[in-house]
Chains A and B, each alone.
Chain A
């Protein structure tokens, strides 16, 4: 029995619950990646429909129509216009929201015109009763020339019917719903004569859209059928109005709304959440809640993870036979991995909050509230989304700036987002704060350590706003102020959606960062425990002779400690560290911190892993955590290395410096030039160096 594979594309407006349907169909059988060459997220899932038919389900980016205005939307058109694409769908499933059928059907009629077998899913059907909506399904199916499936992902019905309908896709009509060519008969007749083998609507899209489509053909089509920009737009307007007329006529009989009994939660919530006082107070309260969870609530699992990894390294050391390989595991790999695993709780909390804010529809209200304020700084209300999700990671945050229509506002958002305290800074902050700020509570409630973290967040945010303000004054880009945001209805976030989102994001983050950290800790371990020079090889002898010469009598363990420190200083890494030390000494750092700062330019979170590796190599006291090892470290003159001045200087350096290769890469991709990432790197790191220098010189 052969197995048939079919490809199903889920298409729909944003906020129609497309991803919920995707999650219901595929469960956890999902692959999240990128489309080749661009950073648009590609979600592919798998679903076994019958014993002989398997479906590849593609969750396409949400789009309002086939007239694309962003690269996310381009993906949809490019796929649907290219029959040779290996993901070209056998069936298109258009997802609509029962409360917003009129607007959602616009996209449906466009997809139908491409003559792809299409199923119409009317989602959130459980709301029909409370909204007083009734549908005449057979009339709608007849008019729209499709099969309709009523689905509620919340109540969990309709999915099996959808699967059956997908299996039966050959029976679907591929006839278009309306004849769009009537908007300009003469023009379209000419087009039809010139390209008799092509779909008319497809030709029209090729002419109007700026998408990759077999270049030669496209030039040919465009050359002979050019129209001025405003003529094209006039035709597009005519097309849109025509589609709406068709939809209105269809819904006149197909849909009745009796709003007398409808509950109107939306307007009640809107009144409170966009209120001039309550609105801002609630938003601020939510931000506070997020910070509270990051620092206070996640400290319990974090301490547990920290101790577990220290135990694990110790256990491995006592149970594995001695040798190079054991050293690599205990001193390189385990502390390195521990350095990243420890902040899973914080990342998970952050992604959970962001996911809930977006799913519930609240994020749009924040955009609405903040737009006027943000514009003063050259940003858009929509910059709030990147700035908030920047607290998790700057990379998806910079990508989410795509929703900003105005190029100048978008560019400024991209440039300042890396100032926001991302989760990679958290482990650095956490360990430094624990080292230099006493674990006390102010007035019995406010934790001093928590307050310090809050200040660092505010500092990052303040710096982002301040540089936006400066950039707004400097940058001379003339663009129209163009801003549209959908205000979706409020929804209680679905647990499954949030959970899958948190798991996916955390997983890709940990594995992505994990790979770099693992590689760096192995390299560091090697560099830290090897050297070509003679003083490294004869360390035991030299230390012993020195002690005898100075007339000291040392205990065995003390001698061992001094020897390993001496060895570390003379290893490859010690040499490298000593070379850069003059540049960082004015900031209050010794060569060990220097190495950590330098390796952090690959990714900030490497800081903790690097110090963990260096301190494990140079220390025989195994049962302690990284923190206590750092705390115990002293300078030649006996003063603590991690004192208050050095700690503050490091905190400031990490708050401002651009130390993330992936962020630079994404800025390059989104702005199409190296100019902006280079400016980010130089400006941010230079500023970080200066503030850290000033802070240390004042505090020391």
Chain B
């Protein structure tokens, strides 16, 4: 199923399919956030934002929902 990172739940593991380069800073790519890498939702902050990710199996970072919306992912149907 295709979706975006802001819609995922804690514990979901997904494969990145596309990132919008014009809306995403280079730094996020350098942290490992680019197509074909996996990402896992580690935590979501109590108020629903930001989102704490484990990208590319080891790179732990948090981003805001707004940016998460620009990362398209593919997740297996449960």
Instruction: Point out residues on A near B: beta carbons under 8 Å.
Output: 64-65, 67, 69, 99-103, 106, 230, 233-234, 236-237, 240-241, 244, 267, 270-271, 274-276, 279-280, 364, 367-369, 371-373, 381, 405, 480-489
Contact of B29 among A240, A480, A488 (CB under 8 A): A240
Query: How distant is A113 from chain B, measured CB to nearest CB, in Å?
Result: 15
Are the CB atoms of A102 and B56 closer together than 8 Å?
yes
- Interchain CA distance A644-B57 in the complex, whole Å: 61
- Interchain CA distance A280-B46 in the complex, whole Å: 10
B27 CB contacts on chain A under 8 angstroms = 64-65, 67, 69, 484
Q: Does B43 contact A (CB under 8 A)?
A: yes
Q: Does B22 contact A (CB under 8 A)?
A: yes
Contact of A240 among B34, B42, B50, B67 (CB under 8 A): B34
Are the CB atoms of B46 and A274 closer together than 8 Å?
yes
- Interchain CA distance A482-B57 in the complex, whole Å: 23
User: Contact flags (1/0) for B24-61 with A, using CB distance below 8 Å?
Assistant: 01111111101000000011011111101000111111
Are the CB atoms of B21 and A482 closer together than 8 Å?
no
Closest to A372 in B: B47
- Interchain CA distance A372-B50 in the complex, whole Å: 7
Q: Does B9 contact A (CB under 8 A)?
A: no
Are the CB atoms of A103 and B59 closer together than 8 Å?
yes
Q: Is the interface of A mostly helix, strand, loop or mixed?
A: helix
Given A102-B56, A237-B26, A484-B28: A372 and B45 interface contact (C-beta under 8 Å): yes
Are the CB atoms of B45 and A102 closer together than 8 Å?
no
Are the CB atoms of A67 and B30 closer together than 8 Å?
yes
Are the CB atoms of A103 and B52 closer together than 8 Å?
no
Contact of A368 among B48, B52, B57, B67 (CB under 8 A): B52
Are the CB atoms of A234 and B25 closer together than 8 Å?
no
Given A103-B31, A276-B46, A483-B50: A230 and B62 interface contact (C-beta under 8 Å): no
A106 CB contacts on chain B under 8 angstroms = 30
Contact of A486 among B21, B26, B60 (CB under 8 A): B60
- Interchain CA distance A69-B30 in the complex, whole Å: 12
Are the CB atoms of B26 and A236 closer together than 8 Å?
yes
Are the CB atoms of A485 and B30 closer together than 8 Å?
no
18 additional contacts (CB under 8 A) given A271-B43, A482-B25, A484-B67: A65-B30, A67-B27, A67-B30, A100-B59, A103-B31, A103-B32, A233-B26, A237-B26, A244-B34, A368-B50, A368-B52, A369-B46, A371-B62, A372-B45, A484-B61, A485-B50, A486-B31, A486-B60
- Interchain CA distance A489-B54 in the complex, whole Å: 12
B50 CB contacts on chain A under 8 angstroms = 368, 371-372, 381, 483, 485
Given A102-B58, A240-B29, A372-B50: A233 and B63 interface contact (C-beta under 8 Å): no
Nearest 8 CB-CB pairings of A with B = A276-B46, A372-B47, A487-B60, A103-B59, A483-B64, A65-B30, A481-B66, A372-B49
Given A99-B58, A371-B50: A483 and B30 interface contact (C-beta under 8 Å): no
Are the CB atoms of B32 and A484 closer together than 8 Å?
no
A237 CB contacts on chain B under 8 angstroms = 21, 26, 29, 34
Are the CB atoms of A373 and B47 closer together than 8 Å?
yes
- Interchain CA distance A276-B26 in the complex, whole Å: 31
Query: How distant is B49 from chain A, measured CB to nearest CB, in Å?
Result: 5
Closest to A488 in B: B60
- Interchain CA distance A106-B31 in the complex, whole Å: 9
Are the CB atoms of A240 and B30 closer together than 8 Å?
yes
Closest to B30 in A: A65
Contact of A482 among B42, B45, B67 (CB under 8 A): B67
Query: How distant is B32 from chain A, measured CB to nearest CB, in Å?
Result: 6
Closest to A107 in B: B30
Are the CB atoms of A483 and B48 closer together than 8 Å?
no
Are the CB atoms of A233 and B60 closer together than 8 Å?
no
Given A65-B30, A241-B34: A279 and B61 interface contact (C-beta under 8 Å): no
- Interchain CA distance A271-B57 in the complex, whole Å: 19
Given A236-B26, A274-B45: A230 and B52 interface contact (C-beta under 8 Å): no
- Interchain CA distance A318-B66 in the complex, whole Å: 71
A230 CB contacts on chain B under 8 angstroms = 21-22
Q: 17 A-B contacts, Cβ less than 8 Å apart? A: A64-B30, A67-B27, A69-B26, A102-B59, A103-B31, A103-B56, A103-B59, A230-B22, A234-B21, A236-B26, A244-B56, A267-B42, A274-B43, A276-B46, A483-B63, A486-B31, A487-B62
B34 CB contacts on chain A under 8 angstroms = 237, 240-241, 244
Closest to A405 in B: B25
B31 CB contacts on chain A under 8 angstroms = 64, 103, 484, 486
Query: How distant is A145 from chain B, measured CB to nearest CB, in Å?
Result: 22
Given A103-B31, A483-B50, A484-B28: A371 and B21 interface contact (C-beta under 8 Å): no
- Interchain CA distance A368-B61 in the complex, whole Å: 10
Are the CB atoms of B30 and A274 closer together than 8 Å?
no
Given A65-B30, A236-B26: A371 and B49 interface contact (C-beta under 8 Å): yes
Query: How distant is B11 from chain A, measured CB to nearest CB, in Å?
Result: 10
Given A106-B30, A481-B66, A485-B62: A69 and B25 interface contact (C-beta under 8 Å): yes
- Interchain CA distance A240-B64 in the complex, whole Å: 22
- Interchain CA distance A270-B22 in the complex, whole Å: 32
- Interchain CA distance A480-B28 in the complex, whole Å: 15
- Interchain CA distance A233-B48 in the complex, whole Å: 31
Interface centre among B21, B49, B61, B64 (most CB of A within 10 A): B64
Query: How distant is A371 from chain B, measured CB to nearest CB, in Å?
Result: 5
Query: How distant is B58 from chain A, measured CB to nearest CB, in Å?
Result: 5
Closest to B10 in A: A271
- Interchain CA distance A270-B61 in the complex, whole Å: 13
- Interchain CA distance A414-B56 in the complex, whole Å: 34
User: Contact flags (1/0) for B8-24 with A, using CB distance below 8 Å?
Assistant: 00000000000001110
Contact of B42 among A67, A102, A244, A270 (CB under 8 A): A270
A99 CB contacts on chain B under 8 angstroms = 58
A69 CB contacts on chain B under 8 angstroms = 25-27
Are the CB atoms of A270 and B43 closer together than 8 Å?
yes
- Interchain CA distance A76-B50 in the complex, whole Å: 30
Query: How distant is B17 from chain A, measured CB to nearest CB, in Å?
Result: 14
Query: How distant is A133 from chain B, measured CB to nearest CB, in Å?
Result: 11
- Interchain CA distance A567-B11 in the complex, whole Å: 77
- Interchain CA distance A364-B63 in the complex, whole Å: 12
Closest to A234 in B: B21
Closest to B28 in A: A484
Query: How distant is B44 from chain A, measured CB to nearest CB, in Å?
Result: 9
Closest to A370 in B: B45
